[in-house]
């Protein structure tokens, strides 16, 4: 803007006229501390990111300033990062290492230590110098970093028996009925029913002056042997008949006894 003063008598008349002034192209790179007076409008364009040089794993892990996406090589674990405040950056890991969670140094989702695998990527923001919040973890496997787990029994133990141990989270426990026991399931009510189909039976057969006969199992068989008598069975009537010698025989009296089963 040019200003010219004109004098007319005792009065001064000020006249102005506008001129164009060219200040050239402003290079932001020449200003080491550029600041915005408001929100940045990209005007339909985008703000690019730069991949920095690889960072060798170390403790502390030093974040370089030549980019905002870095590949961390090596397997040295760390619990501290050296980085300026207000940095937004990404780390991709080339191998397995452990980052230790600690309030005030590195905050990790789930408040638990994180062990990387090759190809994993974490997104970080430094809320202050050397104070990092990991705002996102992308596992190369595609799984969640903290998987939901329900409380379940990994081992089924029976006194006097070998324990049954689950080999994985998808392992299946199969229940088998034996000795007259049937097992039925009801999916709608999530119930398993054990039913014994056996009936009351004598486990021990005792005869005065003789050794007791004891069943060895629920499927054991008692065999009846006749001496000078005839033993007949009737499966339809569930009976066993003991018949002695005929009347008048020299062996003695006739004896007939039916045992109902």
**Does the pLDDT value for residue 15 go beyond 80?**
no
Q: Which of 7-16, 28-37, 178-187 has the lowest mean pLDDT?
A: 7-16
Please give the average per-residue pLDDT across 56-77, as a whole number. 96
Cα separation, 15 vs 11, in Å, equals: 13
* Per-residue model confidence (pLDDT) at position 198: 61
Q: What is the pTM of this model?
A: 0.48
**Does the pLDDT value for residue 252 go beyond 70?**
no
Query: Binning pLDDT at 50, 70 and 90, where does residue 260 land?
Result: very low
- Please indicate whether residue 223 or residue 130 has the higher confidence score (pLDDT): 130
* Per-residue model confidence (pLDDT) at position 259: 46
Tens of pLDDT, residue by residue over 179-222, are 778 888 888 888 888 887 666 667 788 878 888 888 887 778 88
User: Is the CB of residue 6 less than 8 Å from the CB of residue 12?
Assistant: yes
Please provide the average confidence, as pLDDT, over all residues in the chain.
Answer: 81
Residue 55 phi/psi, 5-degree rounding, is -115, 125
Tens of pLDDT, residue by residue over 164-180, are 888 877 788 888 877 77
Please give the average per-residue pLDDT across 234-244, as a whole number. 84
DSSP line for the chain: -EEEEEEETTEEEEEEE----------GGG-SS---SS----TT------B---EE--SSEEPPSS-SEEEEES---BS-EE--TT-EEEEEESS--EEPPBTTTEE-TTSS-EE--TT-EEEEEEEETTEEEEEEEE-TT---SS-------SEE--TTSPPEE-SSTT--------SSEEEEEETTTTEEEEEE------SEE--TTSPPEE-SSTT-------SSSEEEEETTTTEEEEE-PPTT-TT----EEEEE-
Query: Binning pLDDT at 50, 70 and 90, where does residue 42 land?
Result: confident
Query: Binning pLDDT at 50, 70 and 90, where does residue 257 land?
Result: very low
Please state the domain extents for the chain.
Answer: 55-138
* Per-residue model confidence (pLDDT) at position 10: 58
Tens of pLDDT, residue by residue over 101-116, are 997 899 998 888 999 9
Cα separation, 168 vs 177, in Å, equals: 24
* Per-residue model confidence (pLDDT) at position 125: 97
* Per-residue model confidence (pLDDT) at position 251: 47
């Amino acid at each position: 803007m040019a200003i010219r003063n004109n004098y007319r008598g005792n009065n001064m008349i000020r006249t102005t006229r506008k001129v164009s002034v060219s200040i050239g192209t402003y290079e932001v790179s020449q200003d080491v501390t550029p600041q915005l007076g408001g929100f940045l409008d990209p005007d339909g364009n985008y703000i690019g990111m730069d991949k920095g040089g690889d960072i060798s794993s170390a403790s502390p892990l030093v974040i370089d300033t030549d980019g905002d996406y870095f590949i961390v090589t090596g397997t040295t674990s760390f619990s501290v990062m050296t980085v300026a405040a207000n940095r937004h950056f990404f780390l991709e890991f080339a191998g397995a290492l452990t980052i230790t969670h600690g309030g005030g140094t590195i905050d990790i989702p789930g408040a638990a230590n994180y062990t990387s695998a090759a190809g994993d990527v974490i997104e970080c923001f430094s809320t202050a110098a050397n104070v990092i919040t990991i705002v996102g973890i992308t596992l190369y496997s595609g799984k969640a970093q903290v998987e939901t787990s329900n409380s379940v029994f990994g081992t089924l133990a029976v006194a006097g028996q070998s324990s049954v141990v689950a080999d994985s989270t998808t392992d299946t426990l199969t229940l088998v009925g034996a000795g007259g026991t049937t097992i039925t399931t009801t999916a709608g009510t999530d119930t398993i029913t054990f039913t014994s189909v056996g009936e009351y039976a004598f486990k021990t057969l005792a005869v005065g002056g003789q050794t007791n006969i004891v069943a060895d199992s629920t499927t054991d068989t008692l065999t009846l042997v006749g001496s000078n008598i005839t033993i007949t069975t009737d499966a339809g009537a569930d009976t066993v008949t003991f018949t002695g010698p005929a009347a008048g025989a020299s062996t003695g009296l006739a004896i007939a006894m039916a045992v109902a089963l």
